[in-house]
Amino acid sequence: MPLSSPAAREHIHTRTVTCQGFRRADGLWDIEGHITDTKTYGFANNDRGEIPPGVPVHEMWLRVTVGDDLVIRAVEAVTDYAPFNACDAIAPAYENLVGLKLGPGLRKQIRDRVGGIHGCTHLTELMGPVATTAFQTIFPILSREAEEKRLAELAAGEGPDPASDATPKKRKMPLINTCHGWRSDGAAVKRIAPDFYTGDELIDEDDDSLREL
C-alpha cells in the first residue's frame, strides 16, 4: 500500500541507495553499495564550479568482500562525485575495515577505524545497508544448502540415527527480538523457531494456518 496523497510540495533533493549481493566463483561474497545525492536545482560550488540540476553532489561506491563467516576480507571504496576535491583521497582508508566481522558491535568498530576525519560520512553510512544486504544475501543461500545436504544425507542413510536419544542442540537464532516481526512471542518465531517461542499459546504442529505466514 503506498503512502497517502501528500500536501502540495516542491521536489528538492533525492538520495538513492542501492545495494547488491553476489556469490563469487571462489566461494566468497561481494556486497556492493552505491549512494547518490542529487538536487533539482543548480548551485555554485567552490571546488567544482556550477553543479547543474540532477548531477550528483555525492556519488560513492563500496565493495565489501566477506566469507561465510561474515569476516571482511577486502574493501574497495570509490568516490565519483563529492563537494570537495579532497574527498576522494580518504577512500583507501576503508581498507582498514578488513578483519571486522559483520554483526553486533560493527558500527562502533567502523567508527573507531574510519570515524570523523579518518573517513567519509557517506561511505561510512553506506556500510549499514551493505551489512544488512550481506545478511539477506548469504543466510538464505547457506540455510537452503544446509537443508539440501541434510535431506541428501537422510536419503543416503547417512543422517543421524532416528532411534538415537541424543538431544539435538538448539540452533542459534540471532534475529530473535531484533524487530517487531521477529519478536519471540510472535507468529513468525512460533512457526520458524518454535524452540524460542515465548508466547502463551501452545504450538500446534499440525496448524496449517502457520504455514501461510
Given a contact cutoff of 8 angstroms between Cβ atoms, the answer to whether 190 and 201 are in contact is: yes
pLDDT tens for each residue of 59-73: 999 999 999 999 999
**pLDDT score at 164:** 55
Residue finishing a domain among 93, 116, 140: 140
How many beta carbons lie within 10 A of that of residue 185, not counting itself?
A: 13
Percent of the chain with pLDDT over 70: 87
Confidence grade of residue 157 (pLDDT, cut at 50, 70, 90)? confident
Q: Would residue 194 count as lying in a domain?
A: yes
pLDDT tens for each residue of 18-55: 999 999 999 999 999 999 999 999 999 999 999 999 99
Angle between helices 106-114 and 121-155 (to 10 degrees): 140
Q: Would residue 123 count as lying in a domain?
A: yes
Q: Would residue 155 count as lying in a domain?
A: no
pLDDT for 202 beyond 60: no
**Single pTM value for the model:** 0.82
Q: Are residues 116 and 177 in the same domain?
A: no
Q: Would residue 78 count as lying in a domain?
A: yes
Residue finishing a domain among 115, 140, 165: 140
Q: Which has the higher per-residue pLDDT, 206 or 52?
A: 52
Confidence grade of residue 174 (pLDDT, cut at 50, 70, 90)? confident
Name which of 68, 43, 72 is nearest 130 in CA terms: 72
Residue finishing a domain among 96, 116, 140: 140
Confidence grade of residue 206 (pLDDT, cut at 50, 70, 90)? very low
- What range does the domain containing 66 cover? 13-140
Q: Are residues 94 and 179 in the same domain?
A: no
Output the nine-digit C-alpha cell for 105.
Answer: 558491535
What does the pLDDT average to over 10-17?
Answer: 99
What does the pLDDT average to over 158-176?
Answer: 63
Q: Are residues 28 and 83 in the same domain?
A: yes
Name which of 37, 117, 123, 46 is nearest 84 in CA terms: 46
Q: Are residues 25 and 97 in the same domain?
A: yes
C-alpha 77/C-alpha 93 separation (Å) is 8
Q: Are residues 121 and 178 in the same domain?
A: no
pLDDT for 170 beyond 80: no
What does the pLDDT average to over 151-168?
Answer: 70
Q: Are residues 26 and 128 in the same domain?
A: yes
- Report helix, strand or coil for 59: strand
Task: Provide the number of structural domains found in the chain.
Answer: 2
The helix (run of H) or strand (run of E) holding residue 16 is strand 13-23
DSSP state of 67: -
DSSP state of 145: H
Q: Are residues 30 and 102 in the same domain?
A: yes
